[in-house]
Each structure stands twice: as C-alpha cells, then as structure tokens.
Copies of this chain bind each other. A is one copy, B any other.
C-alpha cells in the first residue's frame, strides 16, 4: 500500500519458480523442465519458431526472474502486478493489438467448508501461451495429457485454441467444486432432523452459504470475461474461436445457476433449522406442561387430605372430625379412583390435542 502502482512485490514464502515448456506441432509434443535454466528455455523457443509453445511458470519466489520474463515477453508492469497480487478477479485485456491477457480463478471446496482459489494468469503471443500460477499443483494435467496424446486434435489447433482450452479447463473444474458443495448441503439437510444435532450446525450451514456466495462472486467475473471475449472484434478473436467461447459462456451461466439454486437451498435450510429449533422448544414445553398439569392438581388434592382440621370433642380431646370423608373405609380407595379419573381425563385431553404424539 502506498507503493507506486506497478511496483512488483512477491508474497513472502512463495515457492521458487519452476519453468515447464511444452513445444508441440501436429507431429508431436516435447516437454521439458527448465527450472533454473531460463536462458536455455529462451533459446529453445527461438530456435524453432514454427512450433507452438506453452511456457508454464509455477511459483513466484524469484522476482528478478519474473522481471526478466516480463521484459522478454513484453508485459506491462501493471499486468505483472495483477499476476503477482494476491487477488485479481477474472478478466481479459487486449494489449499489443491482438495479444490477450487472461486471468482465471481455479476453485476447490476444502474440508473447512471454504472455497480455496488460485489464480491462473495467461498471456498469449504469436506462437506461445505463457501461464503463471503460484503453486506447483494445478488442474491442468488433463490438458497436458491431451497434448501428449498421439493423434491429438489439440496439437493441430491454433495457439488461440490453447488459451481457450486453458480457460475451459478451469471452468470445467467448477463443476467438481459445486458437486462437493452440493453433497455437503445434502449432508447438512439430513443433519437437521437428527435427534442429537450438532451444537454448531447453523454455523456450518452459514459457512457453506458463505462459500456459495464466494463462489458466485468468483464466477460472475468469469462470465463477464467470456462475454467480453464474445464481443471482441474478429481480428482479435476469430469467429470460429467464438463458437467455442460461446460454449464456455453456457457453462459459466450454468455454474451460476447452480450456485443460485444452492443459495436458495441453504436459505431453506436456515428456515428449517430455526423452525426445528422452535419445534424442539415446543417439545420441551409439552413435556413440562403435561407433567405439571397432571401432577400439580393431584398434589393439591392429596395436600387437601393432609390438612389438620380437627375439632374438640368436649372432653378436651381434639378429634379430627371436620373432614368426614377421611374416616370412611372407602375414603382412600375412592380418592385413588378420583385421582385416576383426573389423570385419565387430562391424558385424553392431551391426546386429542396431539401432544402425546411426537409429530410437531
């Protein structure tokens, strides 16, 4: 902050850059790692200008090297700042007339219910694609395999197609992320009605909501990026490439649709959770009410016959006489019958109200 815009800085702890070069043409594909041998890499690219190249830089832990790359490939410092910065929305920029600078965000749904996202920055050139990522692992292996395959369709296509394929692979990777979220939501759905639900279930529901919202925010710019590509003039983006990007656009829309529908589901989950919470309170109250309503009156009745009303018999003796029912042989049994009737009556009342069943 407060630095000159375009000042390059690398986050501390970034891994040492590894340089991978795939050189391919219709006949075949050669790949090699040039880590630490950047000059050899440049030489390799220059000696066979008729081939197509994918130069993949992984790890940003060597600023001078990155600055050399920037100069050799004629990148703008502000672009490089976007590459190295810790967060850049998906976007596309045209520079040097027809070259493209594409930023995509690769997502993963982690065990902490979070969206982990990495940035893939791509620069196109006349016969190469230059990609940057700050991690050794990525989701691009499927693409490399397609290049390596004998008889690969991909190798026959233009370099613009490779840039497209990289964009498309990242987009395709949104589906497993969404599927993982979807599975987790279903799990949450089941948890709500468990008798012993987890104390922080709502926290988890809301955490997933956060992830879905975050995901949506990552994909929106992706969609806008592709929409911008579709609006580009034909000399920058030829019509036949646009057909492919149109397909990408459909995928982005569908990922957003899915995210939107997850959001709705999670809202419903929150409603369900709160209603169930209220239900549980209701159940607690019912137990209290049923037991209290039955036994408090009973206690009164037995208390009544525990009173010490007596009368003096004229001989100085105090005789319990005021409550004649106490002295009848049938008194106690009769009382027990009355108590049983009270209990039965109340039980009937509660049963009719549906409080004895569990369903509400």
Q: Which residues of chain A have a CB within 8 Å of any CB of chain B?
A: 1-6, 76, 78, 81-82, 87-89, 91, 142-143, 146, 153-154, 165, 168-169, 172-173, 175-176, 193, 195-200, 202-203, 206, 209-210, 213-214, 217, 243-244, 246-247, 250, 253-254, 257, 260-261, 264-265, 268, 270-275, 277-289, 291-293, 295-300, 302-312, 318-320, 322-323, 326-329, 331-333, 335, 353-355, 357-360
Q: Which B residues lie within 8 Å of A146 (CB)?
A: 2, 4
CA distance A260 to B82 in the complex (A): 22
Question: In the complex, are the beta carbons of A89 and B284 less than 8 A apart?
Answer: no
Contact of A277 among B82, B278, B354 (CB under 8 A): B278
For this complex, 25 residue pairs linking A to B, each with C-beta atoms less than 8 Å apart, are: A5-B244, A6-B247, A78-B247, A88-B250, A193-B200, A195-B354, A196-B359, A196-B360, A203-B272, A210-B264, A270-B271, A277-B278, A277-B279, A282-B284, A285-B289, A288-B292, A291-B296, A292-B293, A295-B300, A299-B299, A302-B303, A302-B306, A305-B308, A309-B326, A323-B332
Q: Which B residues lie within 8 Å of A295 (CB)?
A: 296-297, 299-300
Chain B min CB distance to A103 (Å):
10
Question: In the complex, are the beta carbons of A89 and B250 less than 8 A apart?
Answer: yes
Chain B min CB distance to A166 (Å):
12
Question: In the complex, are the beta carbons of B280 and A281 less than 8 A apart?
Answer: no
Copies in the complex: 5
Q: Which B residues lie within 8 Å of A89 (CB)?
A: 250, 253-254, 257
Look across to chain B and name the residue whose beta carbon is closest to the beta carbon of A198.
Answer: B359
Look across to chain B and name the residue whose beta carbon is closest to the beta carbon of A253.
Answer: B89
Look across to chain B and name the residue whose beta carbon is closest to the beta carbon of A214.
Answer: B261
Most chain B CB atoms below 10 A, which of A81, A169, A307: A307
Q: Which B residues lie within 8 Å of A331 (CB)?
A: 309, 322
Question: In the complex, are the beta carbons of B278 and A274 less than 8 A apart?
Answer: yes
Contacts A197-B360, A202-B272, A309-B332 given; indicate if A318 touches B319 (C-beta within 8 A): yes
Question: In the complex, are the beta carbons of A195 and B353 less than 8 A apart?
Answer: yes
Contact of A291 among B278, B297, B305, B355 (CB under 8 A): B297
Question: In the complex, are the beta carbons of B318 and A268 less than 8 A apart?
Answer: no
Chain B min CB distance to A203 (Å):
6
Question: In the complex, are the beta carbons of B278 and A284 less than 8 A apart?
Answer: no
CA distance A268 to B202 in the complex (A): 9
Chain B min CB distance to A112 (Å):
14
